[in-house]
């Protein structure tokens, strides 16, 4: 090989080795995500882990592996005080953002829970919550209702007092009817995907191992994923919930490749904490 050819070959090799990998292409579905919901979505239990205000939108943001717009929040810590009025306002906020995807994992919680005069009244209230969601014209991820009666039971001495009272919690039989109604409502809408929150929390209660896209939480991981109030997830639990939701969404849609997400739960937690880290003050 001549000296000129050798130089050209070496330059070509250097360029090939130093060229960055092709940039990931944006996914239209993920361009304007809105997180819609109550205290879980608002990040009630995430602050102790991150030490600053952190919401479920931060968790979603930390897993996206393609170019995207900002992930917005339409959430309220006080949702439980007036689900009808607050729920309506939050849906309006979400609609105003012209979202491409709405993630409403706990939006329906206080339409199924809360003090109601009868089982039929509770079912009607859930129907009202579902009706609120009908104005959302983009794909929707909605969570079903987990059994959270443990959060209404007396706490051991020194533990976090219960955040629920027994009267707010539907019976097991009624909870099954409520979730059947959610699934029936979603089944008639092609862009609605139900996140099986109830199943995930049932496995936590049973102490079963949980596996989501290569992440594995061993048996007895309840303390890692669920906070001391027995109602809200930890940061790791919130990431597990979102990854379970994203997994369902990928399975349901042909326009969403699995490569659009980084499925590593530990890496997602690290990114959330890094982004929320307080800047160092210098003299």
Please state the pTM of the whole predicted model: 0.88
Q: Residue 167: which CATH number? A: 3.40.50.1110
Closest residue by Cα to residue 192 from 146, 238, 130, 127: 130
Q: Does residue 10 lie within any of the structural domains? A: no
Q: Give the Cα separation of 246 and 260 in Å (integer).
A: 10
Tally of domains within the chain: 1
Q: Give the Cα separation of 200 and 205 in Å (integer).
A: 9
pLDDT 10s per residue in the chain (283 long)? 444 344 334 434 433 343 334 457 899 999 999 999 999 999 998 876 667 788 999 999 999 999 999 899 999 999 999 999 999 999 999 999 999 999 999 999 999 999 999 999 999 999 999 999 999 999 999 999 999 999 999 988 888 999 999 999 999 999 999 999 999 999 999 999 999 999 999 999 899 999 999 999 998 888 889 999 999 999 999 999 999 999 999 999 999 999 999 999 999 999 999 887 754 444 3
Residue 23 has a pLDDT of 56
Q: Does residue 4 lie within any of the structural domains? A: no
Q: Does residue 16 lie within any of the structural domains? A: no
Q: Does residue 18 lie within any of the structural domains? A: no
Q: Does residue 15 lie within any of the structural domains? A: no
Q: Does residue 17 lie within any of the structural domains? A: no
Q: Give the Cα separation of 178 and 53 in Å (integer).
A: 32
Q: Does residue 280 lie within any of the structural domains? A: no
Q: Which residues constitute the domain of residue 229?
A: 24-275
Q: Does residue 14 lie within any of the structural domains? A: no
For residue 183, the surrounding DSSP H or E stretch is helix 172-187
Residue 276 has a pLDDT of 76
Q: Give the Cα separation of 78 and 29 in Å (integer).
A: 29
């Amino acid at each position: 090989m001549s000296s000129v050819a050798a130089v050209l070959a070496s330059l070509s090799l250097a360029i090939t080795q130093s060229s960055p990998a092709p940039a990931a292409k944006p996914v239209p579905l993920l361009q304007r995500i809105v997180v819609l919901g109550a205290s879980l979505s608002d990040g009630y239990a995430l602050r102790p882990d991150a030490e600053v205000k952190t919401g479920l939108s931060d968790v979603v943001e930390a897993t996206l592996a393609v170019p995207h717009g900002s992930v917005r929040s339409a959430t309220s810590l006080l949702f439980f005080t007036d689900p009808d009025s607050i729920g309506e306002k939050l849906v309006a906020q979400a609609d105003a953002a012209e979202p491409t995807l709405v993630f409403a994992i706990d939006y329906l919680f206080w339409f199924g829970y809360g003090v109601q005069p009868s089982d039929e009244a509770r079912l009607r209230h859930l129907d009202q919550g579902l009706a609120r969601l009908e104005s959302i014209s983009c794909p929707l991820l909605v969570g079903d209702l987990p059994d959270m009666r443990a959060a209404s039971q007396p706490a051991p001495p020194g533990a976090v007092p219960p955040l629920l009272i027994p009267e707010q919690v539907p019976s097991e039989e009624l909870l099954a009817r409520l979730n059947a109604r959610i699934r029936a409502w979603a089944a008639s809408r092609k862009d609605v995907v139900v996140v099986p929150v109830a199943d995930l929390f049932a496995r936590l209660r049973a102490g079963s191992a949980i596996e989501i896209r290569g992440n594995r939480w061993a048996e007895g991981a309840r303390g890692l994923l669920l906070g001391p109030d027995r109602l809200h997830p930890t940061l790791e639990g919130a990431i597990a919930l979102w990854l379970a939701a994203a997994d369902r969404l990928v399975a349901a849609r042909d326009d969403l490749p699995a490569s659009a997400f980084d499925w590593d739960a530990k890496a997602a937690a690290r990114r959330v904490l890094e982004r929320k880290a307080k800047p160092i003050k210098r003299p």
